Amino acid sequence: MATTENHLIELLPRKDRLSLLSVCEPVPLVLAEVLCEAGEPTRHVYFPTEGFISLLTAVDLHPGLEVGMVGREGMLGAQLALGVATTPLRALVQGEGSTLRVETKAFKRELGRSDALQRGLLRYVHVLMAQLTASASCLRFHAIGPRLARWLLMSQDRAHSDRFRVTHEFLAYMLGVRRVGITTAASALQRSGLIEYRRGDLKVVDRKGLEAAACSCYAAERQAYAEVMR
């Protein structure tokens, strides 16, 4: 396996990339599968090549709130680069696809022998920190409509498709709002001709219009990634 569609692996020098790929195992990402729970030992790391993963935090008795998202631009398990063995957040497969999985012990060996991998993951941790910060401020200061537009754009970026399946109930769960708020916001986006939605099937019709409707967090996150992950 000499090539991959995961950006973090693609950025590595050829020798380091081939070494890492030699310990990778391709596995499917199954919709709604929980890959890890917060506080658990990290058993595997994941480099998605298709599909994407939601990073969730639980508060009191609430089921969870999405604070980050991982697709082929990144990885799940980057805390190992900081020497942290436990998983900080719950990881839920949000978009089915495929991923490269590495057992933690083997991944630590690769980290120890590849300075390029270590540097790349530390930069990616910076990107994740920026995403977590943006999610917190977005939740506090931005209205549901712009937040929903941001979420749809982030999902489309990682789904690499104009169409994906998502329910109002799931969106309410991800964004931490009541379902009626999602229904109102999604209806407004649909009336504006930005999306089409029917029975869980969503299509992005006007990408530029959706970007204009999204809060400033979306553009800021994309810029942060482009500046750091080169």
Residue pLDDT, tens place only, 197-207: 888 889 999 99
> What's the average model confidence in pLDDT over 167-175?
84
Average pLDDT, the chain: 91
3-state helix, strand, coil in the chain (%, to 5): 50, 25, 25
**Cα–Cα distances in Å, from 170 out to 30, 65, 196, 211, 225?**
16, 11, 17, 22, 27
Between CA 93 and CA 27 the distance in angstroms is 13
> What's the average model confidence in pLDDT over 182-199?
94
Contact predicate 17/10, CB 8 Å: yes
Q: Give the pLDDT score at 154.
A: 93
Sorting pLDDT into bands at 50, 70 and 90, what band is 165? confident
pLDDT of residue 210 exceeding 50, the answer is yes
215 CB-side CA count, 13 A: 18
CATH architecture, domain 143-214? Orthogonal Bundle (1.10)
Beta bridge partners of 163: 203
Three-state DSSP state, 100:
strand
Sorting pLDDT into bands at 50, 70 and 90, what band is 1? very low
For the chain, what percent of residues have pLDDT higher than 70?
97
pLDDT of residue 3 exceeding 60, the answer is no
Q: Tell me: domain 7-138, CATH 3.40.50.300, correct?
A: no
Q: Which of 24-33, 54-63, 133-142, 159-168 has the highest mean pLDDT?
A: 24-33
Place of tokens 């199954």: 30
| Closest-CA residue to 70 (of 49, 44, 41, 88) | 49
Over the stretch 27-83, which tens digit does the pLDDT of each residue have? 999 988 999 999 999 999 999 999 999 999 877 766 678 899 999 999 999 999 999
| Closest-CA residue to 218 (of 124, 108, 120, 135) | 135
Q: At what angle do helices 115-141 and 14-21 cross, to 10 degrees?
A: 80
What residue segments make up the domains of the chain, in order of their start?
7-138, 143-214
